Amino acid sequence: MDVAIIGASMTKFGQREAWIRELLAEAGEACIDGSPVDRQAIDHLYVSNMASGEFEGQTGVMNALAHDLGLLGAYAERVDQTSASGGAGVYEAWQSVASGASEMTLLVGGEKMTHRTTAESTDVIASITHPFEYKHGLTLPSFAGLTARHYLERFDAPRESLAEVAVKNHANGANNPKAQFQKEIDVETALESPIVADPLRLYDFCPVTDGSAALLFCPVEVAREYTDEFVRVAGVDGATDTHVVHERDDPTVMGAVVDSGEGAFEMAGCTPDEIDVAELHDMFTILEFLQMEALGFAEHGHAWERVRAGETAMDGDLPVNTSGGLKSKGHPLGASGVAQVVELYEQLVGEAGPRQVPADRGLACNVGGFGNCVTTTILEAAG
């Protein structure tokens, strides 16, 4: 069954004076209000959220949200795939409609994090890594630093090329009123920022963020009854890579991105050069290179050249992270994969405002852990 997305919204990302229940309700409410659908029609509710229990001592957010949105009776479930919870939610929502279980599924992803210290958040997040690696100090930022050094040396890429990812995404985010940072930066600022995990510096990392995002899914034939303004889920697939990062053959190849990308392209019946706009998981700048290569948007070891050449800028052949990406828009874990698809939805229906690029087909890649769990989604303009 062909599945449509008929509504999309996200809250302001940043440091928010609201708890997870309020953030989820804010995006969910806006999504329903902005769609042509009456809330009574919603029969499934998925909540993408990694750690409301660990961060806030709040469990059962799916049932609470069903209450807060007035969706009494709807099936409600929480989906966790760490940083890729949002992408997993997209896959889940697609499955719920494609299987015939639901005729109208609301997906809301969100996380409330900024009230915890970075050390506390890091402890929660680092527990996804293997204990053997963790006790040697290998948190996600450490892996990013090691991988970046390896990539730069092996592929003879200049250090500036990583900074250029940050500069591009901050420039895009400056046009996104929902982004945590609406601030352009230059290469010097990025290169002179404090070291976090050598060679990566502060501006190579996404911030800690509160926020949520929502999407409304239904069969295409149901969408047509409501409106001409919807997009179609052309392809979606998920995959995992090794739990132990050092067991991977090549640290510059994100295997689960390769696998989920191949699955999504096969389902969509298209190739990487037919993608007009992409949202990639730039939790660390180096990941934007690795995902471009794993998805076939660049040859192995050559993504940095495309970025340098401006081909992934707003006016390039393949604009990447028009939303500002995780780098500038922020990264509220469970929200990010949903917000990526919100950006694609806005691009494909022509509502991206100053960030609008010409696009009929978009791809989102959401990554959990250090490439541990990945979901790739391809959307097409429809209506």
Kindly tell me which residue out of 237, 282, 293, 380 binds a copy of itself, with binding defined by CB under 8 A.
237
Structure tokens given for 307: 């970025």
Give the count of alpha carbons within 13 A of 84, CB side only.
29
Decide whether 57 or 194 has the Cβ nearer to a copy of itself: 57
Structure tokens given for 367: 């990554």
Report the nearest approach of a copy of itself to the CB of residue 66 (Å).
Answer: 5
Kindly tell me which residue out of 11, 35, 81, 180 binds a copy of itself, with binding defined by CB under 8 A.
81
Decide whether 237 or 311 has the Cβ nearer to a copy of itself: 237
Alpha carbon distances (Å) from 70 to 25, 39, 45, 64, 73: 10, 8, 11, 10, 9
Decide whether 32 or 157 has the Cβ nearer to a copy of itself: 32
φ, ψ (nearest 5 deg) of residue 368: -110, 150
Report the nearest approach of a copy of itself to the CB of residue 336 (Å).
Answer: 16
Decide whether 107 or 359 has the Cβ nearer to a copy of itself: 107
Which among 52-60, 175-183, 307-315, 350-358 is the span making contact with a copy of itself, rule CB under 8 A? 52-60
Decide whether 61 or 286 has the Cβ nearer to a copy of itself: 61
Query: If you search the block for the tokens 């409301």, which residue do you land on?
Result: 52
180 binds a copy of itself (CB under 8 A): no
Kindly tell me which residue out of 4, 20, 30, 88 binds a copy of itself, with binding defined by CB under 8 A.
88
Q: Is 276 helix (H, G, I), strand (E, B) or coil?
A: coil
Q: Is 209 within 8 Å of 22 (Cβ atoms)?
A: no
Q: Is 10 helix (H, G, I), strand (E, B) or coil?
A: strand
Report the nearest approach of a copy of itself to the CB of residue 255 (Å).
Answer: 8
Please give the radius of gyration of the chain, using alpha carbons only, rounded to the nearest integer. Answer: 19
Q: Looking at the DSSP assignment, which residues form a beta bridge with residue 144?
A: none
259 binds a copy of itself (CB under 8 A): yes
Kindly tell me which residue out of 4, 5, 50, 185 binds a copy of itself, with binding defined by CB under 8 A.
50
For 123, other C-beta atoms within 10 Å of its C-beta total 14
Q: Is 20 within 8 Å of 59 (Cβ atoms)?
A: no
Decide whether 127 or 153 has the Cβ nearer to a copy of itself: 127
Binding mask 116-145 for a copy of itself (x = CB under 8 A): -------xxx-xxxx---------------
Pairing of strands 231-240, 3-10: antiparallel
CA torsion through residues 292, 307, 194, 181, sign: negative
Report the nearest approach of a copy of itself to the CB of residue 87 (Å).
Answer: 10
Report the nearest approach of a copy of itself to the CB of residue 282 (Å).
Answer: 20
Decide whether 199 or 337 has the Cβ nearer to a copy of itself: 337
